[in-house]
Structure 1
Amino acid sequence: MSSEPSAPPAPAASPAPSALSAPSAPYRPGRLSTGDRVFLSAFIGLPLLALLVFVWLPAFTSIALSFTTWDGIDLGDIHWTGLGNYTEIFTNYPPFWPAVRNNLIWLLFTALLPTPFGILLAYQLDKKIRFTKIYQTAIFLPMVLSLAVVGFIWEIIYNPDTGLLDSALRAAGSAHHIDWLGDPDLNLWAVLIASGWRHTGYIMILYLAGLKGFDPALKEAAALDGANGRQTFLRVTFPALKPVNIIILVVTVMESLRAFDIVYVLGGGVGSKPGMELLSLLITDNIIGESSHIGYGSALAVVLLLVSLAAIGTFLVQTFRKEDR
């Protein structure tokens, strides 16, 4: 019994040419609703307004007042003096140059001791040693505290009668009471040690964050080439973390130039003790001290601003110029 051959299947219907050739409609973003506009305006406008009111307006006001004399009370007593305040600062203002010297000492001390020590601690804690989290927390704990609180802690330590440091010296056999904060030859170094205690933990965390993102293959390649740990760090790790090094250097310079809180607490408030003069304290003394000299204080603030901008700007320009080359 023969059967007729089955008919071939019908071809699938092809899509209409108009569906393939029709161009897609251009994307048109929807217009923001009134609520979105209000939210974006507040989200962007309020921080800009705060920046203008609390940063730029006082900065420009200080620059303008630096060319005047004013007691800070009666606006009618503002008198234009031109460059008189700046001339007085650089020629007939005795505390200025000791303050500049102490700021330079602060910068050198911070850059040569706490900063390298914080980098060393970060490098050691990155080796996956036992209890590393506990060590990190203990070292970073002073950074959680404000500089004013750190100052109060070290004021208790430096107390010549009941302080921890003098008690330890007496237990060791010393019969002398050392006035750590009253002696002009010691008080600046005492404050530097207290500031360095806090600064070390900050640098450690910054560098440890950089080490966590470091490619371990580079260390392995250096080990295969026969480099020891010190050579690997100096020739491989440290150069590779150049962005972190720039941040640390900028932070160190800025912390040294704007040092105020801890010196204010350990120095006993307004009025710089002999040996503890800093530019930030001179600004405060002239603006809110017993005899207000707003013009002098504003001129000192402008000088400090220019020094900070010159130091940071020069370093950043040189650094980025080398990278472009």
Structure 2
Amino acid sequence: MQLTKAQARRAGRRKTRRYSPRDLVVLSVLLGIPVLIDITIIWGPTLASVGLSFTDWDGIGEIQWVGGDNYSSLVSDYPRFWPAVRNNLLWLAFLGLVATPFGLLLAVLVDKGVRFSRFYQSTLYMPVVLSLAIVGFIAQLVFSRDQGALNAILANQEQPVDWLGDPDLNIWMILLAAGWRHVGYVMILYLAGLKSVDPTLKEAAAIDGANDRQTFFRVVFPTLRPVNVIVGVITVIEGLRAFDIVYAVNNGRNGLELLSVLVTDNIIGEASRIGFGSAIATVLLVVSLGFIVTYLVHELRGERDR
């Protein structure tokens, strides 16, 4: 099919159009500044930390190259490392397998239009606006051994339970506090996804004889794949970057060790082992990227195969 003269002229103008110097300046500014900020604040320190992980440096003296000695010492000679790895994986498992499904359940219940749904949304979302440090202080008020609300409710005044001092219990109490905040966040994300589901899909499933459970798992939940990706990435990030709540309770010690706490203790603590702390940060970076990239590849591949 031949183009008309007008169409040919328009196509020619589109092909020969060039950006003016002003356009190039605007594009350079709008793209260059964010990229520069990202490199300066995010990737610059990240790559510097990876490089410093192969050195021995106290932040003041001469930097000495030690190769992989920091990593071998971290694995074999640092007793706080493996408990921190276990606790980080426990955080990830709890948030992913308990808090996230519970947030999804609350979103489904609220989406059904129960009475006072606005009140429930506000109440459940309220912890999200609090920082984890504030959540840690609230946890102290609730789980404190001598003046905590939980022991007062249980009437354990003579033999109070040390919820935060017992290393066999404190990690679970802190996970409950962190999960309290995470549930509200997940609920809002899934609630937004549920509101966007086409009602005709549910009606078609009901006509075919599907019950509520079958409709949700076979019709509604597959349409929430984009929300699942967001929630999955957020859950991994929350589980691996946790720091302020345990630091507010007991400085991340006595059963609450996390990799982020070990990084802080070694880099800005009295030891000032910048290289060793950078090695821990690099391990945390690799683990985080491993989880996130694997999850994203799996979800995107599933989206492509649909």
Q: TM-score, normalised by structure 2?
A: 0.90
Q: Call closer, same or farther: CA 1:138–1:32 in 2, change over 3 Å.
A: farther
Contact 2:232 2:295 in 1 (8 A): no
Q: Call closer, same or farther: CA 1:30–1:224 in 2, change over 3 Å.
A: same
Q: Which amino acid aligns with 1:294?
A: I
**Partner residue of 1:203 out of 169, 186, 190:** 186
**Partner residue of 2:250 out of 264, 267, 275:** 267
TM superposition shift of 1:319: 2.8
TM superposition shift of 1:51: 0.9
Per-residue CA deviations over 1:43-102 (Å, capped at 9, x if unaligned) read 33332222111111101110110000011123x2x1000011111111111111111111
TM superposition shift of 1:29: 6.0
Aligned counterpart, 2:279: 299
Aligned counterpart, 1:318: 298
Q: Within 2, Cα distance between the matches of 1:205 and 1:32?
A: 45
Q: Call closer, same or farther: CA 1:223–1:154 in 2, change over 3 Å.
A: same
Q: Call closer, same or farther: CA 1:24–1:213 in 2, change over 3 Å.
A: same
Q: How does 1:4-43 map to 2 (within 5 A)?
A: 27=13, 40-43=27-30
TM superposition shift of 1:157: 1.7
Q: Which amino acid aligns with 2:274?
A: I
Aligned counterpart, 1:253: 236
Contact 2:125 2:188 in 1 (8 A): yes
Q: Within 2, Cα distance between the matches of 1:164 and 1:307?
A: 37
Q: Which amino acid aligns with 1:277?
A: E
Match of 2:163, SS state, is coil
Match of 2:184, SS state, is helix
Aligned counterpart, 1:71: 58
Per-residue CA deviations over 1:275-314 (Å, capped at 9, x if unaligned) read 1111111111111111111111101111111111111112
Q: Within 2, Cα distance between the matches of 1:322 and 1:239?
A: 11
Q: Within 1, Cα distance between the matches of 2:55 and 2:223?
A: 50
Q: Could you say which structure has the higher helix fraction?
A: 2
Aligned counterpart, 1:193: 176
Q: Within 2, Cα distance between the matches of 1:179 and 1:21?
A: 85
**Partner residue of 1:111 out of 83, 86, 96:** 96
Q: How does 1:272-291 map to 2 (within 5 A)?
A: 272-291=252-271
Q: Call closer, same or farther: CA 1:37–1:315 in 2, change over 3 Å.
A: closer
Aligned counterpart, 1:3: none
**Partner residue of 1:143 out of 102, 123, 128:** 128
Q: Which amino acid aligns with 2:151?
A: D
Q: Within 1, Cα distance between the matches of 2:191 and 2:145?
A: 37
Match of 1:113, SS state, is helix
Q: Within 2, Cα distance between the matches of 1:116 and 1:55?
A: 32
Aligned counterpart, 1:10: none
Unpaired runs of at least 5, structure 2: none
**Partner residue of 2:34 out of 47, 63, 72:** 47
Q: Within 1, Cα distance between the matches of 2:29 and 2:5?
A: 46
Q: Call closer, same or farther: CA 1:189–1:37 in 2, change over 3 Å.
A: same
TM superposition shift of 1:156: 1.7
Q: Call closer, same or farther: CA 1:299–1:131 in 2, change over 3 Å.
A: same
Q: Within 2, Cα distance between the matches of 1:33 and 1:80?
A: 47
Contact 2:136 2:246 in 1 (8 A): yes
Aligned pairs, how many? 298
TM superposition shift of 1:112: 1.8
Bigger shift: 309-318 or 284-293?
309-318
Q: Within 1, Cα distance between the matches of 2:186 and 2:279?
A: 32
RMSD: 2.2
TM superposition shift of 1:39: 5.3
Per-residue CA deviations over 1:235-272 (Å, capped at 9, x if unaligned) read 2211221221122122111211111111111223xxx3
Aligned counterpart, 1:11: none
TM superposition shift of 1:142: 0.7
Q: Percent identity?
A: 54
Q: Within 1, Cα distance between the matches of 2:5 and 2:166?
A: 89
Aligned counterpart, 2:46: 59
